[in-house]
Amino acid sequence: DTGVSQDPRHKITKRGQNVTFRCDPISEHNRLYWYRQTLGQGPEFLTYFQNEAQLEKSRLLSDRFSAERPKGSFSTLEIQRTEQGDSAMYLCASGPTVSPTGELFFGEGSRLTVL
């Protein structure tokens, strides 16, 4: 399968713990996005990478959140000192670089539950 893959698919953690999610985009895509989706809502933009450069961050991304894409391939999203409000589905998407009008290809998401 050459789609966007995310790991883990589900994560249950206790409040205050750190969690990390991984995203492997489609190999020829150098645009990579992270979104957060809560129940009954559409995906909310968190951050965007062009290759290894993090070009945009939403104000939703508090200082407890950090994302990296060290070699321009896979990306990680880390949440430190998790809070119950962090419970959500975290979606990764990738897209071709030619223009921002290209479609995004989404992974199946990583569901986080903070107890």
The residues binding other proteins (CB under 8 A) are 3-4, 31, 33, 35, 40-45, 48, 50, 55-56, 58, 91, 93, 100-101, 103-109
**Residue pair 82/13 in contact by the 8 Å Cβ criterion:** yes
Q: C-beta of 16: minimal distance to other proteins in Å?
A: 29
For 39, 66, 78, the CA distances from 19, given in Å and listed in that order, are 20, 11, 6
* Residue 76 beta carbon to other proteins: minimum distance, rounded to whole angstroms: 19
Of 16 and 100, nearer to other proteins (C-beta) is 100
- Mention every residue, 6+ apart, whose C-beta is less than 8 A from residue 6: 21, 22, 23, 24, 90, 91, 92, 107, 108, 109, 110
Shortest approach of other proteins to residue 34 CB, angstroms? 12
Of 54 and 80, which CB lies nearer to other proteins in the complex structure? 54
